Amino acid sequence: MNSVYHQAKFMLSASQLSEAPEDQGKEVAFAGRSNAGKSSAINALTRQNGLARISKTPGRTQLLNFFEIDEQRKFVDLPGYGYAKVPLAVKKKWHKMMETYLHKRDALCGIVLVMDLRHPLTDFDMQMIEWCEYTQLPLHILLTKADKLNFGAAKNTLFKVQKQLSDVDVSVTLQLFSSLKKTGIDDVHQVLDQWFDFKD
Ligand SMILES: Nc1nc2c(ncn2[C@@H]2O[C@H](COP(=O)(O)OP(=O)(O)O)[C@@H](O)[C@H]2O)c(=O)[nH]1
Ligand SMILES: [Mg+2]
């Protein structure tokens, strides 16, 4: 197990790309609809309960939160999206910022897309997958909150989503995950190790 992720430290929040840290080293971005369980997943992966704030008020912040793992590696918690209450101007700003970030960020080496397994493949998720196809960024999907379904039902969802993604034109892997039960963490670490180029 690679415990380097446990050292993650909060760096900064950026409300626009010009405020992001220098575009160097490697970066893995966590994307997901608001309330999907993104911040909880980052906390589970870093074993730090307060690292990425777990918001009870979804869709409020539109910030990119950067976390440093080591000098050459970062996590980015991307702003969530998907609540009808969000004004159009905010949606447009989000869309533009995400598109630019995903297309232009050289350090970006993979996207962890977090989905609530009870509501997989929303419009938001499909948009994210399209952007990844366009930029050929590898995707790893976490079907999280797996503790909300029994194992059989969770597996069924996994197979169904896998099938629906069979003609996606970019490397995409997926797994069950639960931040609450801390399941699936080692599998994510393995994917991250590859993307970040950690040799054991
Ligand atoms: N049962 C369960 N609840 C979860 C899990 N992950 C997140 N949650 C809950 O889902 C809500 C949204 O989580 P959060 O991480 O803030 O989502 P984000 O908006 O995507 O960052 C919170 O109430 C969390 O406690 C999980 O694995 N299992
Ligand atoms: Mg969050």
Residues 2-25 as b/e (b if ≥16 CB within 10 A, e otherwise) read eebbeebebeeebeeeeebbeeeb
Give the model's confidence band at 80: pLDDT under 50 very low, under 70 low, under 90 confident, else very high: confident
Q: How far is the CA of 35 from the centre of ligand 1 (A)?
A: 6
Q: Is 124 in the pocket of ligand 1 (CB under 6 A)?
A: no
Mean pLDDT of 146-162: 97
Q: Is 82 in the pocket of ligand 1 (CB under 6 A)?
A: no
pTM, two decimal places: 0.95
Mean pLDDT of 91-99: 89
Q: How far is the CA of 119 from the centre of ligand 2 (A)?
A: 17
For a mutational test of ligand 1's pocket, the pick from 13, 33, 179, i.e. the residue with the most ligand atoms closer than 8 A to its C-beta, is 179
3-state secondary structure 134-155: HHCCCEEEEEECHHHCCHHHHH
For a mutational test of ligand 1's pocket, the pick from 13, 54, 147, i.e. the residue with the most ligand atoms closer than 8 A to its C-beta, is 54
Mean pLDDT of 154-160: 97
Q: Residue 165's domain spans which residues? A: 3-196
Q: How far is the CA of 54 from the centre of ligand 2 (A)?
A: 5
Mean pLDDT of 118-137: 94
The phi, psi pair for 121, rounded to 5°, reads 55, 55
For a mutational test of ligand 1's pocket, the pick from 13, 40, 179, i.e. the residue with the most ligand atoms closer than 8 A to its C-beta, is 40
Give me the percent of the chain exceeding a pLDDT of 90. Answer: 78
Mean pLDDT of 148-164: 97
Atom of ligand 1 nearest to the CA of 177: 27
The model's pLDDT over 24-72, given as tens digits with 9 standing for 90+, comes to 999 999 999 988 999 999 999 999 998 987 665 555 567 899 999 999 9
Domain count, the chain: 1
Q: How far is the CA of 124 from the centre of ligand 1 (A)?
A: 17
Q: Please report, for the domain that includes residue 71, its CATH number.
A: 3.40.50.300
Q: Is the pLDDT of residue 1 over 80?
A: no
Q: Residue 170 CA to chain centroid, in angstroms?
A: 16
Q: Is the pLDDT of residue 84 over 70?
A: no
